[in-house]
Structure 1
Amino acid sequence: MTYSAAPVRYSSSVESLAPDEGETVAKLKDAVDEIQHTMDEHHGARLRGAHAKGQALLKARLTVIDNLPPSLAQGLFASAGSYDAIMRFSTAPGDILDDSVSGPRGLALKILEVEGERLPDTTSADGQDFLMVNGPIFPNATPAKFLPGFKGLAKTTDKAPGLKKLVSATLQTIEAGLESVGMPSPLVQTLGGAPNTQPLGDIFFTQVASRYGDYIAKLSLAPVSPHLTALAGTKVDAKDRRDALREDINAVIQREGGVWELRVQLCTDLEKMPVEDPTVEWDQDDSPFIAVARIEVAPQVSWDDRASADLQAQLAFSPWHGLAAFQPLGGISRARKSVYEHSQAFRGATNACPMHSGISDAPPTSASGALQPE
């Protein structure tokens, strides 16, 4: 483990609020409303404004690595211990699309029964959430720059699925060409050109910075089981398979389970590793990702159409659920707080069931072995 410089210590001064941020957040809420109202009108269900399609819902066990160096022994990672956890794999859009329409994949990790000083408006029942995507950078630097694209997604939610399949296929070809010359495009990937690969082989990133106790960091989650790392870059055959990702993930997890590492990348230079611009990838030569915990998933059913769908509808994930030691930082994260709360309130108020941030110590399973609501 080597750093180009000492890790930067956290201070509230690392953030700078844009003057139009409040107005932008209000418009983002309007776009989320449009997505959720559209899905309710068409399908009679209030879904997430983004990452609506769950691909797997897993019961996991997180174990903190013992004897971490002081700079990494922060928050819940300050001492060895084990926690029950939930992992949710998803795809990015707010509508439920055929899996041949490729886009960024999400992974939400909820660590249960975490003790310590909480972020405002959260309780221990909320656990500690880390939200990640299978790419190291966010495609837009600020909420204001993210807004136009998100408004466009709202206008096309649940419309022209056949056209979306054709566009995605074209963009996947374009992205493959860009990647072959070392120029991957986060924008093309977001619009439907992401490589349609097996999510279990992907590395996931928080993309945005957060406080990490006394320091500042980004996190990642990487598979380490040989049968998972062997899946890196393998393509999913989604032809005539609407739920190909659910099926392919389940085939692996039900048979073998898996192990991942939760890793931390400390900020060592605020100029090279900015907090307010998540389009800048932090150089791993200056500050590598270092493992702070292992996550084990026993063989289980990763998706059951009834039980998993019911439970994910009741669960709420947010980077603002957690400890003060892991406070999200930057404009994108500040916008997420209000927008996520707005979306979750809408879902909870209209689904005839309150939202839950966490579930009990040992999540129950259905007869198939999948997680199910209590």
Structure 2
Amino acid sequence: MARGAPSPADLQVVRELAARGLVVTVSQLESWRRAELLPRHRRRGLGRGRGSVVDVVDPVVVESAAALARHLRQGRDRRLAVLEWFAEAGMAGRPGAASVPEPPIGAVRQALVWALERSVVRRLMEVARSAAGAGEEGQDALYALAGRLLKPYRGSANPALVRAALEADEDIPVEDEAPDGRSMVHLVAAVGLGAHEVGTDALAEAFASFGMFGLSVEDWAQMLGAAERGEGPPVDWGLLEEHADVTGAVQRAGDEELVRARAVLVGLSGFYALYVMHGLLMPDTPALAALRQRIDDFGMFPFLDRIIAINPSPTRCAETLSVCLQPPLDNLYETLMEQLTADPALFRIPGNETGAAGFMERWIGTLRGRAQAGRGAV
């Protein structure tokens, strides 16, 4: 083969991808190799002084190139494609479809750090730290920026309440008194300016806005106030700053920890979806009820509702994955997986031997009945 000529193996990769409707050039393949995103073909030695040869095209090379081709577009940063590839590799594939290989974990780590450094929380944290010692002017600058960057969000109504309202033909409840998601800026301020500059009431509102453990603003205010007066366990605000350093957490995490965090994110997204669909009149079963009860025992539905997005952007995925490195979500995931193992019959209605088919038939029938009732009322 002439020097600089495309290898037969790469030409075969290009042809295989073209058959799938993916347009890739040999020069792109080589560019991805230089970026350490694509492996080289495995070669077999021909003996002393006779060089080596590629016997067959490595399927890992083909599927890795296919993943890059799916997620890369003209002018798009490769790190975004790496994050989407990493997410895709963690999803269960379709029966009979080729499995998606893992992207190089070093590239994943770099992409995660790059995305987190550009996140809204990171920008607010930098402003908060620079405002330390600047008095009210610094605080005003931080809160003004938060008002522009943070979106108002109060979370979804509890699916059990939504279901009850739908079944009774009543309006879906709205929790107007829940803290707005923008209250998290108080925690950012506590890290950058110091908790004493923020105040117990504001911090209680911030913690309650996350919805963790089912605690209200009043619950948090009582605990923080007791700690401030020396009547309860002291608060280690250093832990808050440690958890706020999401880029550091990703950099310190081992390769297996990053893969585990992805498994936690994917798993909790599925459990969250099952919890939400209870509010959409999905048939209930003992197994589904047991999973919801486990989530309620942890008081974590509001928190899951806040962090899990149905169609997350790569940056949002990076932010959520960094949270999944922390013990609370890992413990919740492990508990739910244990419950699923103990009772895997999620879609088996008691007394109905048709399994998932009967489950879906009943759900569709319920939704059609509700739709017909609605049209009749109109």
User: What TM-score do the two structures reach when normalised by structure 2?
Assistant: 0.23
Q: Larger relative CO (CA 8 A, sep 6+): 1 or 2?
A: 1
Structure number having the greater strand percentage: 1
